[in-house]
């Protein structure tokens, strides 16, 4: 299992998000629209994962979708929501979760229309749970294409530039009321370890009543950036995307 992406709810448009992160040398692209969910996004890729800044485009569609992510987005409005874990076999992942006593949503097909009109497809799996201020569980994804095929397509359409592939997420730091209990639960979900091949998951006592991801730390991170109620520690980068 790998960290696939981090979901960050925002009230900003994708264009405004892209503009904001450009000031820090982070190449960010307008991702596209989830027509069935009434949402849209901006994306910043790393060597093996990405940040998704997700916003509501059509509130009526989002409310009618009754989808785990739209419910979370409508509840939180701003700030880190949850993380997504990449797996090569979502059916086996579902079986593992069920053996551990978790109730799952069933595998859901999903798609996004990119800014260029291309349709990208994948499958998702969620744990069944209410959306509250308690920490949301991660959800799981299986992409239609291999990682190599997907990244090659993203390079061709300009979503990924060479500077993106110099970035790596070192750790995701969550604030929760009972770190030990949450760590035990997440270890069961993730096969025994909170050290994923491409990121470490850490838990500490929450700074507020709301339990959420609080901080995303990149390898070599030296500069703290606050964006839409979320904290990032990023490498110092020039506006051309070079580290320095």
Q: Are strands 169-176 and 199-205 parallel, antiparallel or unpaired?
A: parallel
pLDDT confidence bin for 241, thresholds 50/70/90: low
pTM: 0.94
Which domains are assigned to the chain?
A: 2-234 (3.10.180.10)
**Residue 124 has what pLDDT?**
96
Is 139 in contact with 124 (CB distance < 8 Å)? yes
Q: Cα angle at 123 between 18 and 218, to 5 degrees?
A: 40
**Residue 240 has what pLDDT?**
56
For 3-24, write each residue's pLDDT tens digit.
999 999 999 999 999 999 999 9
* Mean pLDDT, the chain, integer: 94
Between residues 87 and 208, which one has the greater pLDDT?
87
pLDDT confidence bin for 115, thresholds 50/70/90: confident
Q: How far apart are CA 212 and CA 210, in angstroms?
A: 6
The owner of tokens 């890729």 is 45
Instruction: Please state the three-class secondary structure of the chain as a single string.
Output: CEEEEEEEECCCCHHHHHHHHHCCCCCCEEEEEECCCCEEEEEEECCCCEEEEEEECCHHHHHHHCCHHHHHHHHHCCEEEEEEEECCCHHHHHHHHHHCCCCECCCEEEEEEECCCCEEEEEEECECCCCCCCCCCCEEEEECCCHHHHHHHHHHCCCCCHHHHHCCEEEEEEEECCHHHHHHHHHHHCCCCCEECCEEEEEEECCCCCCEEEEEEECCCCEEEEECCEEEEECCECCCCCEC
* Average of per-residue pLDDT across 108-112: 86
For 143-172, write each residue's pLDDT tens digit.
999 999 999 999 999 999 999 999 999 999
């Amino acid at each position: 299992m790998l960290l696939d992406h981090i979901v960050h709810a925002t009230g900003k448009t994708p264009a405004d998000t892209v503009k904001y992160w450009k000031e820090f040398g982070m190449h960010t692209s307008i991702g596209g629209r989830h027509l069935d969910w009434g949402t849209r996004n901006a994306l910043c890729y790393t060597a093996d994962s990405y940040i998704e800044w997700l916003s509501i485009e059509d509130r009526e569609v989002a409310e009618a979708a009754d989808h785990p992510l739209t419910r979370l987005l409508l509840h939180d409005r701003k700030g880190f929501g949850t993380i997504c874990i990449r797996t090569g076999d979502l059916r086996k992942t579902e079986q593992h979760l069920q053996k551990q006593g978790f109730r799952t949503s069933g595998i859901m097909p999903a798609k996004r229309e990119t800014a260029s009109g291309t349709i990208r497809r994948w499958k998702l799996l969620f744990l069944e749970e209410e959306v509250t201020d308690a920490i949301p569980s991660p959800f799981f994804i299986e992409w239609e294409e291999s990682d190599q095929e997907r990244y090659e397509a993203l390079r061709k359409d300009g979503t990924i530039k060479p500077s993106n592939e110099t970035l790596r997420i070192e750790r995701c730091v969550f604030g929760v009321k009972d770190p030990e209990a949450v760590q035990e639960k997440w270890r069961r979900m993730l096969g025994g370890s909170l050290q994923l091949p491409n990121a470490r998951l850490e838990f500490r006592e929450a700074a507020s009543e709301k339990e959420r991801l609080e901080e995303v730390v990149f390898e070599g991170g030296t500069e703290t950036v606050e964006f839409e109620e979320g904290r990032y520690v990023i490498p110092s980068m020039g506006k051309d995307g070079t580290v320095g």
